[in-house]
Amino acid sequence: MEQFRKQTEYFSQTVDTKAPTTGMSSVRSIAKLAGVSITTVSRALNNDPAVNPKTRERVLAIANRSGYVATVGRRATTNLGFSYTGEATLSHPFDAAVLDGVIHGADEQRFDVLLTNLKRDKRPDESYTQFFLRKGIRGVILRTMQESRSICQAIADEGFPMIVISERFSSPNVSYIDGDSRADSVRAVEYLIALGHRRIAFGFHSIPDRDHTDRFAGYKDALEKSNIPFDESLVYRQRYTLAGGATVLKMVMTMRDRPTAIFFADPLLAVGAVKQAHALQISIPKDISIIGFDDTNLRYGVHPTLTAVCQDAAGLGFEAAQRLTRMLTNREQKTFQISVPTFFEVHESTGAPPAHLVESGDKNQSAPAQLKSAI
């Protein structure tokens, strides 16, 4: 498929951690390597509480390293897992696009995609490896949030083949692929500043994740670089819905000394704000400029077409699935840490601020000192 061609990688590092193993892994081969009986291997794989924790750990580590695979009948499974470490957010366009990409990325090596619920099904006493083996999953693609990042780390530590989508990890053993939106967030806000905006609101969703944290940081960076004091009252946290975006717009427009531009870190918020502006007969960009974020092509669905920081969510899913399944097929173990830069597109939702709202004097002048001290 055209849309899933390989992306150029700008910030990519690949670490070989193990040579490919040879031969098929079985309870027998694991038993030999672990120096235990096949009985113990079976028990360890099935989480029999009788097994010594140390033994269990050793067996599972060898199982992962040797590429042990559950069988349906006598055949090796070909399931690629797709799991959330926290709440599933599949109704969000980002996730729908990622999954679409994952399915196509799994195509080449003829893997099927199994959607599993870690939260629902993982027994508290079993390891992640045991859980995935039980589901016939050979490798897993993970979606995570800040508060459940440790689960990704734990899965990687067990040595189970995995890759996280849209988070970053400093531990070299955790594979991930993410879109790096911070630089373009800076660029987006600087673009607004260059157009003459000084009071710029920021809207993001209320679930803490790395993407939104990055974009928030980019927003603050840009303000700081232009000596515009950061104003907490211009920051809006909302649920990622159209209603959330509409709320931000309504609040912004009714503020005293209102902002002349809004940068949204979430596609649905941006679309909801545009919609609300139409309803209130507020003209974009004449009355207010809006920059959105777009994981797919929602920016083209509204009028005016949104100036937006964009990433190809389907591409991230495709890349993750293709790399992981190739790794599984070639029986090798690598770690991928890939950051794909976003791109910034200027369309029609941004322009100069309304004349009557611009402070008099030099546009490049920094905000007055009393504003700074107010923070």
Q: What's the N-to-C CA distance of the chain in angstroms? A: 51
Q: ∠ CA 5-9-13 to the nearest 5 degrees?
A: 130
Binding site for its own copies (CB under 8 A): 45-46, 70-73, 75, 77, 79, 88, 90-91, 96-97, 99-100, 103, 107, 110, 112-117, 120-121, 133-136, 242, 271-272, 274-275, 278-279, 297, 300-305, 314
> Whose Cβ is closer to DNA: residue 40's or residue 307's?
40
| DSSP per residue, 243-311 | HHHHHHHHHHHHSTT--SEEEESSHHHHHHHHHHHHHTT--TTTT-EEEEEESSSGGGTSSSPPEEEE-
With 0-12 / 13-18 / 19 or more C-beta atoms within 10 angstroms meaning exposed / middle / buried, residue 286 is exposed
Binding partner selected for residue 50 from DNA, its own copies, none, CB under the kind-specific 5 to 8 Å limit: DNA
Residue 293 bridge partners (DSSP): 309
Which run of H or of E encompasses 204? Answer: strand 200-205
Residue 42 as a binder of DNA (CB under 7 A): the answer is yes
> Whose Cβ is closer to DNA: residue 75's or residue 120's?
75
Residue 71 as a binder of DNA (CB under 7 A): the answer is yes
CB of 125 to DNA, least distance (A): 12
Binding partner selected for residue 37 from DNA, its own copies, none, CB under the kind-specific 5 to 8 Å limit: DNA
> Whose Cβ is closer to its own copies: residue 55's or residue 241's?
241
CB of 72 to DNA, least distance (A): 9
Residue 120 as a binder of DNA (CB under 7 A): the answer is no
Cα–Cα distance measured from residue 121 to residue 119, given in angstroms and rounded to the nearest whole number: 6
CB of 318 to its own copies, least distance (A): 12
Binding partner selected for residue 255 from its own copies, DNA, none, CB under the kind-specific 5 to 8 Å limit: none
CB of 92 to its own copies, least distance (A): 10
Binding partner selected for residue 177 from DNA, its own copies, none, CB under the kind-specific 5 to 8 Å limit: none
Binding partner selected for residue 303 from DNA, its own copies, none, CB under the kind-specific 5 to 8 Å limit: its own copies
The count of chain residues that interact with DNA, using the rule CB under 7 A, is 24
Q: ∠ CA 216-311-86 to the nearest 5 degrees?
A: 65
Binding partner selected for residue 304 from its own copies, DNA, none, CB under the kind-specific 5 to 8 Å limit: its own copies
Phi, psi of 280 (to 5 degrees): -90, 5
Query: Quick check: bond before 304 cis, omega within 30?
Result: yes
Binding partner selected for residue 302 from its own copies, DNA, none, CB under the kind-specific 5 to 8 Å limit: its own copies
Which of 202-213 are b and which e, b meaning 16 or more Cβ less than 10 Å from the residue's Cβ? bbbbebebbbbe
CB of 20 to DNA, least distance (A): 19
Residue 28 as a binder of DNA (CB under 7 A): the answer is yes
> Whose Cβ is closer to DNA: residue 17's or residue 37's?
37
Other CB atoms within 10 Å distance of the CB of residue 331: 16
Binding partner selected for residue 51 from its own copies, DNA, none, CB under the kind-specific 5 to 8 Å limit: DNA
Residue 52 as a binder of DNA (CB under 7 A): the answer is yes
- Beta strand 200-205 with 261-264: parallel, antiparallel or unpaired? parallel
